[in-house]
Structure 1
């Protein structure tokens, strides 16, 4: 979820993600080896917003507000048919990233104190991280393998609130799209 090579998460951190279980068969072996968030319990996903609010701020009122914001958005089909890269990072790119962008924008607008990725990037690019903190030669090999397994398609019907307990990420709440 962090999209850096630190792999360091702290207890009480939260994030909102769209699970992509249809991608697990294609990416699991690589994510388990090359993505710290996978080793910490995060499934294949597209991040909606990370970091979100500290766990101490997540109460029934916050959950109701997240459910209301997420519930305004329709379910949608997604398809991952190509890879993309950031420096040291390989990811699957959704063919159409607009529905993911709209979710991120809606949550960030409602909670401006929690900008996507802590405000580190001028533009948020929806993606499913496969490997991070690797040199180009490693990423080239992973990408070649992934191309043989693409496309991956699925239907997005929910957004999960994930919470780090100090050791692993756990799903706390699942919010349905309409």
Structure 2
């Protein structure tokens, strides 16, 4: 999700994430120093959709619809064994990435007015940001340190709705992935 230093965040903005709690021991210290989003309350995560609807537009019908869309997807395991990067950014790459992409696509299809990252990118790459806004030497140092703590395997069973309150990101709701196949009529 966007960081507080970007100047673009406003109270009421929301995002949908998959928390990767299992990665916290490996990434927490790096993220607290080098990822502005960590300093404003965003846990280790893979972004599913940011920005999502403004908080004022999220009502009980939206919660129900989110539950239905997310509930069509089965829980899965993701392995984070290698690093990747964008300019100035170091991240962990989830394997497989397809389940994250399917979640993003399903939510963006249901709410087409909320394209991932505002439609800035042709291809949205699932990732867990560890450091951003850093020069290559810092990112190389972080990657070297991370390699000793990888791989990390995470169980993905929910998507969380986060809301920016003007100062910090706050968790508002969690939507479980389907535990078992839907019964047939």
What range is the shorter-chain TM-score in? Answer: over 0.9
TM-score, length of structure 2 as denominator length? 0.94
Matched, 1:122 2:122: yes
> Which runs of structure 2 are paired with 1:137-152 in the superposition (5 Å)?
137-152=137-152
Q: For 1:20 and 1:172, locate their aligned partners in 2 and report how far apart those are by CA, in whole Å.
A: 17
Q: Once the 2 structures are TM-superposed, how far is the Cα of residue 2 of structure 1 from its aligned partner?
A: 1.5
The DSSP-based 3-state class of the residue aligned with 1:31 is: helix
Q: For 1:21 and 1:107, locate their aligned partners in 2 and report how far apart those are by CA, in whole Å.
A: 22
What is the number of equivalent residue pairs in this alignment? 178
TM-score, length of structure 1 as denominator length? 0.97
Conserved? CA contact 1:5–1:132, under 8 Å: no
The DSSP-based 3-state class of the residue aligned with 1:51 is: coil
Poorly superposed stretches of 4+, deviation over 3 Å? none
Q: For 2:122 and 2:24, locate their aligned partners in 1 and report how far apart those are by CA, in whole Å.
A: 29
Conserved? CA contact 1:50–1:118, under 8 Å: yes
Q: Once the 2 structures are TM-superposed, how far is the Cα of residue 5 of structure 1 from its aligned partner?
A: 6.1
Conserved? CA contact 1:48–1:103, under 8 Å: yes
Q: Once the 2 structures are TM-superposed, how far is the Cα of residue 4 of structure 1 from its aligned partner?
A: 9.5
Conserved? CA contact 1:7–1:37, under 8 Å: no
Where does the alignment leave 5 or more consecutive residues of structure 1 unmatched?
none
Q: For 2:2 and 2:93, locate their aligned partners in 1 and report how far apart those are by CA, in whole Å.
A: 17
Conserved? CA contact 2:80–2:92, under 8 Å: yes
Conserved? CA contact 2:16–2:159, under 8 Å: yes
Conserved? CA contact 2:15–2:52, under 8 Å: yes
Q: For 2:72 and 2:3, locate their aligned partners in 1 and report how far apart those are by CA, in whole Å.
A: 28
Q: Once the 2 structures are TM-superposed, how far is the Cα of residue 154 of structure 1 from its aligned partner?
A: 1.4
* Larger CA Rg, structure 1 vs 2: 2
Partner in structure 2 of residue 66 of structure 1:
66
Superposed CA RMSD: 1.3
Where does the alignment leave 5 or more consecutive residues of structure 2 unmatched?
179-185
Q: CA 1:175–1:27 in 2, change beyond 3 Å: closer, same or farther?
A: same
Partner in structure 2 of residue 41 of structure 1:
41
Partner in structure 1 of residue 182 of structure 2:
none
